[in-house]
Amino acid sequence: MNSRKVVIPVTSGISEPEQAFEEIGRLEEEIRIRLAEVERRAKDIIAEAEEKAADLVRQEELRLDEISNSLDDLACGTSREAAGSIASSPTLPHELFEPLALELFDLLVKGEQG
């Protein structure tokens, strides 16, 4: 077993217990300073993580809006085709919606998990 003995130099006029208490006080102050520094760093890390998370949420919301708008555009185009105002396309409506629906589903699943 390694045991370290702390050697406290004896100064004139101050007893050994008083010196020990002074050393303990200095160590406590050093611990408080280091703890405050760690707390500041932790708060900075948390703030940065929150900022990144908010950015990711905004990006996903924009993607969802784009998908929603695309689905709306496709739905409008499909109804116009049905009314005969647009020439019919060789692509079936479900073939247009499927990729967007799958992407929307993936985004919704990721949102529930995240």
* pLDDT on residue 72: 81
Neighbours of 102 (CB within 10 A): 10
The per-residue pLDDT string of the chain (114 residues; one tens digit each, 9 = 90 and over) reads: 455 666 656 555 678 889 999 999 999 999 999 999 999 999 999 999 999 999 999 999 998 888 888 888 877 766 555 555 444 455 556 666 777 777 877 777 777 666
* pLDDT on residue 114: 60
Contact present, 36 and 86 (Cβ < 8 Å): no
* pLDDT on residue 25: 95
CA distance 82 to 76: 10
Q: What is the DSSP letter of 13?
A: T
pTM: 0.47
Contact present, 19 and 8 (Cβ < 8 Å): yes
Count the residues in the chain.
Answer: 114
Any idea where the domains of the chain sit in the sequence? 16-113
* pLDDT on residue 1: 47
